[in-house]
Amino acid sequence: MSEMVAPVLFAERAGDPSGTPSRLLSRLFGGLVAGVVAIVAVFAWIVVSRENAAGRAELQVHLKQTGTLVAELLAPTLASGDSAAVARMADVARPLGLRITVVAVDGRVLADSSADAAKMENHLDRPEIRAALRTGVGEARRASATTGEHQLYYAVAVVRDGALHGVLRIAGSDADLAPREASLLHTLEAGLTALVIAVLCMGFVFMRGIEQKFRREKDLLVERHRLYEELKANEAALVTKERRLSEAQDIARLGSWTWDVRTNAVTWSDSLYRMFDIEPGTIAPTFDTYMSFVHPDELTFISDALGEALRSKEPFEYDQRIVRRDGTVRVVHARGEVLTDADGTPTMLVGTALDVTERALAEDAQRRSEERFQLAMRATNDALWDWVPGTNVIWLSDAFYTLFGHRRAEMMLTFDARIALMHPEDREAVAARVDDFLRSDAAVLTCEYRIRRADGAYAWVSDRAYAVRDGQNQPLRMIGSMMDITVRKAADRMKSDFVSFVSHQLRTPLSGMNWMLELASEASGLPDEARSYIAEARESAERLGGLVNDLLDVSRLESGRLVLTLEDVHLEAVTRSVIDEARALIAERGHRITVESRNPSASVHVDAQLMRQAIANLVSNAIKYTPAGGTIQVIITRENGQQQWTVIDSGIGIPKPAQAQLFDKFFRADNAVAMVTEGTGLGLHLVRLIVEQFGGTVWCDSEEGQGTKFSFAVPVAEVV
């Protein structure tokens, strides 16, 4: 069907409906027209010629007859030699429309009906005259020398009594023929023109007719072809759609089914087969087959549901479990509609089944997770909160309200409201710490603050929050738990007070011992032995005093109730002073100690006494834990907007495992204990408490057996 005949003649592109006749046909037609015209022209010429010839023949006869007659009439006149009479006779011919010329035997024109004979030349050379002189008659046809018109000449010898007296020539003009010829010609011309025009028109019409016919044919063919292609495309599309539907059903785990209620015939889509984990088409789908897959616990339910659907003819849907051949259980969401005939009798059930097992599992898991969360929330005493930084909205768990006695309805759940509940002395500090935390990249923030309870009293709270950050460390969300530590705080305070109290109490007998031993050491006449015992007793007492002092300092720093006197403290000056105080010990151990300050005016705004204590502890450690003849360097620099103080010794170093606990209360590394048996384990803890009090950090680098480097850094900016 793809072959088309007509278009071969029409050299247009397929699908172009406005075909124009090809050159071939044009040429063909042109040739035809030309041929016709030629034939007609030839024919016309033949006709005209024949007419002319016939006309001429007639004239010739006419001339002959007239000439003969006139010659006879003229004979006597001419013989008489009366020129005037001859001329008169010649004039007679004029009305006849003929021209008469009388020529003498020598060729002189004696008379002419059209012209002046005297002016005419000798006519002897004229062929018809010569012929007449010779034979008695002559004919010629030519253009007249005199008038220029084509003439037919008939010459007759005038004979009287056997004597030649002259020639009578009689001429008839072709021009007489001309009208006849002309009209004939005109007629022919007209006819020809008409014919040509007619033929052209016919041809044009014919052409158009052919063209249209061809075009129609072609259009039909094109249309047929197009429809055919469309049909093919539609078929292909349909196949594709069916395939896609099947694929989509598979992807969606959606199967479709029909059940003819009358015949009990059941159809399953491929994806429904697969839902049951069966190769499509390998088993015959029947209602019973379906029921065999239904979970045993739900058989009754399904039967009832379908029965109800048939009865009510309403669309239905339900969730059910199916059990595959291999025993796996899937959760399926089935929907269906009831089709009825004209009477309303159910004819078919059609519907879909969607495998929702994953979703069901997920929902289940989520429910359990939610349950767990709720239980956990109730199990914990803590108040949980959830806040999106930048907004004022904060979610608070029920525990918040029970812990602090507020009523949910009375509280505005805003971040600001919670800040407002805090103790006025704590608000600013907490807000500032939250701001710093948000801007940092830290994950966890722990704050302690007081929060007002419904009864007006303040509870101490330890708030530990976790921040979820995006790729640029922007905080997206903060979740925290608030633990009521009022009791712990009170206990701590009591402990602190206790420690404080006891320390003070211990000092009294301690001072007594110190002073008595001091007096004793000054007593005269003291045996050397006794003197040495007293000296060592004094040393011992001094250590006890140091321990008590440290305990007191730790207790005060931990209680947070220490009142600091802030002033600009020059680290180099304090360091040199500390070293100066310890010069006896340094000399005794033979250490070489240097202080290098890379910016001598380095100062920090801190409590002088505490700063001195921290430096003293670090220097003292360096001295104590370095074997005799060691080197100790103190370096003071400025790094990243902080004052950094470092002491490097060539001492025994600190084992790696111990380094993690170095700053813990009462911790002493084993090698330190081995070297210096007495020691409280409070020195470094105190250093850390002091440095952190000033907003700084302390750290340590050490290789066991090679030496130790302790550094702390304190912000130069004012510390609150």
Partner 1 sequence: MTERKKSILLVEDDRFLRRACEVSLTRLGFEVTSANDGEEGLRLATSEPFDLILLDLLMPKKPGIEVLAELRAAGPPNANVPVMILSNSSREEDKRRVVGLGAIGYYVKANLSLKALGDEIQKLFS
CB of 616 to partner 1, least distance (A): 13
Place of tokens 């069916």: 242
Whichever of 77 and 693 has its CB closer to partner 1, that residue is 693
Q: How far is the CB of 425 from partner 1 (least distance, A)?
A: 17
Q: Following DSSP, what letter does each residue of 327-338 receive, concatenated?
A: S-EEEEEEEEEE
Q: How far apart are CA 643 and CA 636, in angstroms?
A: 7
Least distance (Å) between residue 592 CB and partner 1: 29
Q: Shortest Cβ distance from residue 612 to partner 1 (Å)? A: 13
C-beta neighbour count of 125 within 10 angstroms: 9
Decide whether 9 or 562 has the Cβ nearer to partner 1.
562
Q: Give Cα separations from 268 to 205, 227, 285, 654 (angstroms).
A: 66, 34, 7, 77
Nearer to partner 1, 27 or 504 (CB): 504
Q: Buried (b) or exposed (e) across 668-697, using 16+ Cβ within 10 A?
A: bbebbeeeeeebbbbbbbbbbbbbebbbbe
Could you tell me the smallest distance in angstroms from the CB atom of residue 563 to partner 1? 4
Nearer to partner 1, 379 or 563 (CB): 563
Nearer residue to partner 1 within complex by CB, 474 or 549: 549
| Rounded Cα distance, 53 and 59, in Å | 10
Closest CA to 385 of 445, 451, 466: 466
Tokens of 158: 């005038």
To partner 1, the closest distance from the beta carbon of 544 in angstroms equals: 9
Given a contact cutoff of 8 angstroms between Cβ atoms, the answer to whether 102 and 78 are in contact is yes
Q: Specify the pairing of strand 631-639 against strand 592-597.
A: parallel
Residue 687, CB half-sphere, CA atoms under 13 Å: how many? 25
Alpha-carbon span 28 to 595, nearest angstrom: 121
Q: At what angle do helices 23-80 and 174-251 cross, to 10 degrees?
A: 180
> For residue 290, what are the CA distances in angstroms to 261, 301, 310, 541?
14, 14, 17, 95
Cβ nearer to partner 1, comparing 193 with 511:
511
Nearer CB in complex with partner 1: 408/561: 561
| CA dist., res. 568 & res. 34, Å (int) | 126
- In the complex, minimum distance from the CB of residue 538 to partner 1, in angstroms, rounded to a whole number: 9
Q: Whole-angstrom distance between the N-terminal and C-terminal Cα of the chain?
A: 98
Measure the CA angle with vertex 662, ends 657 and 668; round to 5°.
90
| Sites of contact with partner 1 (CB under 8 A) | 500, 504, 507-512, 514-516, 518-519, 545, 548-549, 552, 556, 562-563
Cβ at position 545, least distance to partner 1 in Å: 5
Give me the least distance between CB of 514 and partner 1, in Å please: 7
Cβ-in-10-Å burial (0-12, 13-18, 19+) of 429 comes to middle
Dihedral class, residue 97 (left if φ above 0, else alpha if ψ from -120 to 50, else beta): left
Q: How far is the CB of 547 from partner 1 (least distance, A)?
A: 11
Q: Which is nearer to partner 1, 203 or 545 (CB)?
A: 545
Smallest gap from residue 553 Cβ to partner 1 (A): 8
Residue whose CB is less far from partner 1, 302 or 516: 516
Q: How far apart are CA 38 and CA 215, in angstroms?
A: 32
